[in-house]
Chains A and B, each alone.
Chain A
Amino acid sequence: MHSTRTKFLKKAQTWINSSLFNTNRAGEYFEYLLEGVDPMWSALECKARVLEVKQETADTKTWVLQPNAEWKGFTAGQHIHITLSVNGVMSTRTFTISSSPYQWKNDGTITITVKKVPNGKVTGWMHDNLRTNAVIGISQAAGDFTLDKGVDSAVGYIAAGSGITPIMSQLRWLSAHNMPVPATVLYFANTSQDFIFGSEIRAITQSNRRLDSHLIASYDESDSKHKLPQSPICAEHIAALLKNKPEIIYLCGPHPFREIAKSLLQDAGFDLKCVREEAFGLPPVKVEAGAPVTVRFTDSATETTTDQPGTLLDMAEEAGLKPTSGCRMGICYTCKCTKKSGQVRNVVTGELSGNDEEEIRICVSAPVSNVDIEI
């Protein structure tokens, strides 16, 4: 009875909003007005101001952000989506928070640490243009790449490159807690110049007996083509990590790196169920040789036929369409569209959809059969 009433009230409210403001959410009508008065004001999302930008390594910077009062905090290891206007194009990307929750409690700031991706439109723009006092949109923190409540046994960390950021948040939190549990860190970077937070990790290691860290460079620092003998992750590194008998291993880095690390862990007899991964970036879309598929974008009276389908978002963009999109990795649901018919495969999980009408995220859906989609 109660839920019927709430449902009815909600419906009535949506109807009134759509008649008065021509949008189901009244906030959308006022959003640009609020933004015009103060860019930190919003009826729809959290905002954060950039307080400081710090250079970490040659291609990595840290942005110190001050979220507005709507933001609810985070647990070490979680990520946020940030939304910014890159030459007029609203772009959303996901980054892990690199600072400790203590810092947020103390002075209300958090940091994100971002490596400039070669040819990356968004990270490139951030490195060149996202300066002090700029205001960006941020989401609430999410993700389970976090320490369990009441953790009481050893943990292990494996990071490559900018994959250190969520782990750094945890290390900073553990260090502020006087290292409640023993921890071992394996951190891989191209050269010794490329260790983000390298000196801080070394300093924490020196002052805490219970933290053991190994910073491993893959290349000679003078010449990035000359591989060092200890080069990328191998069984010896894993053995050093497992010496402390960690119960959980946190793994963050590029997709191929994580695959190698996991197979080495399995070889060393570690249960992969106890590995937690932060899976950023899409795995390469597997092309299955087969008959060509046709995708019809029904709202645009456009169609494409290909025997090498990518994601529906890529295909729509190649066809000259501009559907709304966000994180491009299946997290934010901005690109949700109605599939009228046809089967798609989730490129992250490999899961196959049904053939009927349903809402799908086009950034992680590749067509398996002919597909009709409302774009």
Chain B
Amino acid sequence: MTTATQPNVEQLRPEEVKFNGAQGNRRLTKEQFDSLQKDFDDLRAEIVADLGQSDVDYMKNIIRVQRYLEIAGRTLIHFSFTPVPFMLGVAALSVSKIMDNMEVGHNIMHGQFDWTNDPKMHSKNFEWDTACDAGSWKRTHNYEHHTFTNIIGKDRDYGYAVLRLSDDTPWHPMRSIQTVYFALLSIFFQWGVALHELESERLRDGTFDLEEKKPYLKGLFRKGAKQVFKDYIFFPALAGPFFWKVMLGNALANLGRNLWASAIIFCGHFTEQAQAFTEEECENETKGEWYYRQLLGSSNLEGGKLLHIMSGHLSYQIEHHLFPDIPANRYEEMGPRVQEICEKYGLPYNTGPFWKQYGTVLQRVWKYSFPTAAK
């Protein structure tokens, strides 16, 4: 069930109402924004003060499991002669890549573990098992997406420049087959992420030329070549006559990771309830208003421990967007506290089970592929 708390209509005073997308959420007063900010700042300070050895031990254990799975997966793919061990190997390698990208890489690159002063889990040094190089990711994701979350025209993660997900984006004939783009983006997600910083849509409309993208392209080719070398040349070549078997296994493992990672990430901001914002709305935004936008623009997934770990705790997308640099293993205990704060201000806390949330994403991609009425 989607349990979005609806605003109490009686509390609305006309001069304060600012409607937003389909939900029409209440815009808070200045005092309320300040007090909302204080509540979130206090929660943050409380958790930061409590960080310690157990958080480091948690991340080290996750990294150990991830690496044992990678070693087991590659070994099984290499030595298997029947489909069952081969598929077990594919599964292990795929899970290892998911853990590396989501629970380990994404969180470490947010600087969640910089306080540990351990160079092996410091955002400055960490590189992950995917085509997108860490530097490009930190620029597009940590800076652009987390600062300008769901601001149409500024947050390029909103629809990844190929999907129309709100009436704020004008319809174009190209958008009519966006469900196909969506499927392709899911299948080749690691390359989609790697190409994100190319900003091909801005290259086409002449915002800048290819020359300016040279340093980025260099990084893209450098990292992309390494990934191709590892999964499609080195490990297949080790298997000699079984080159194609290993190559297929690695490709399947990458595909599994791509489908899962894209599904989780689309659920974060493109669900039915997740809201979009315009640039004008966000001008001269205070920290309280920033928290408000992060809260309304994100949606959570309900599930067990395994879902949380396999999604890199992006199942707690709301908590992650409010506190992107707090170790993700803390989001679970922060969730109920964030929900309390939402109730206090009558703000929605958008959450639901994975399939339900993903279903609304698919509906939304389908719905906005048609020229719906502009608002």
Contact = CB atoms under 8 A, between A and B. Distances in A.
Interface in A308-341: 322-325, 334
19 contacts: A19-B227, A19-B234, A22-B129, A23-B127, A28-B120, A30-B67, A33-B67, A36-B61, A36-B64, A85-B56, A88-B51, A88-B54, A88-B56, A88-B115, A322-B114, A323-B124, A324-B122, A324-B124, A334-B119
Contacts of A35: 60
B128 interface: yes
B68 interface: yes
A325 B117 contact: yes
B111 A32 contact: no
B117 A322 contact: yes
Given A33-B68, A85-B53, A324-B124, A91 B117 contact: yes
Contacts of A20: 230, 234
Contacts of A334: 119
Interface in A69-114: 85, 87-91
A166 B345 CA distance: 63
Contacts of A89: 115-117
Closest 5 CB pairs of A and B: A19-B226, A322-B114, A88-B56, A22-B127, A90-B117
Interface string B42-86: 000000000111111000110110011000000000000000000
Size bin of chain A's contact surface: 20 to 34
Contacts of B54: 88
A197 interface: no
B143 interface: yes
A258 to B, nearest CB: 30
Interface in A13-41: 15-16, 18-20, 22-23, 28-33, 35-36
Interface of A: 15-16, 18-20, 22-23, 28-33, 35-36, 85, 87-91, 299, 301, 322-325, 334
Nearest to A20: B230
Given A22-B129, A324-B117, A88 B230 contact: no
Contacts of B119: 324, 334
Interface in B118-152: 118-120, 122, 124-125, 127-129, 143
Contact of A301 (B60, B111, B143, B229): B143
A91 B229 CA distance: 37
B230 A19 contact: yes
Given A19-B227, A32-B67, A88 B53 contact: yes
A87 B234 contact: no
A137 to B, nearest CB: 11
B228 to A, nearest CB: 9
A32 B108 CA distance: 15
A322 B230 contact: no
A32 B234 CA distance: 24
A75 B151 CA distance: 63
Contacts of B230: 19-20
B111 A322 contact: yes
Given A19-B229, A88-B53, 10 more contacts: A18-B127, A19-B225, A20-B230, A32-B67, A33-B64, A36-B60, A88-B51, A89-B116, A322-B111, A334-B119
A111 to B, nearest CB: 26
B55 A88 contact: yes
Nearest to B226: A19
A29 B67 contact: yes
Contacts of B55: 88
Nearest to B54: A88
Most buried by B among A28, A35, A87, A325: A87
Most buried by A among B128, B129, B230: B230
Contacts of B61: 36
Nearest to B59: A32
Contacts of A30: 67
Contact of B118 (A19, A90, A301): A90
B362 to A, nearest CB: 33
Contacts of B120: 28, 31-32
A24 to B, nearest CB: 9
Contacts of A23: 125, 127
Nearest to A18: B226
A91 B125 CA distance: 18
A15 B222 CA distance: 10
Contacts of A85: 53, 56
A323 B115 CA distance: 8
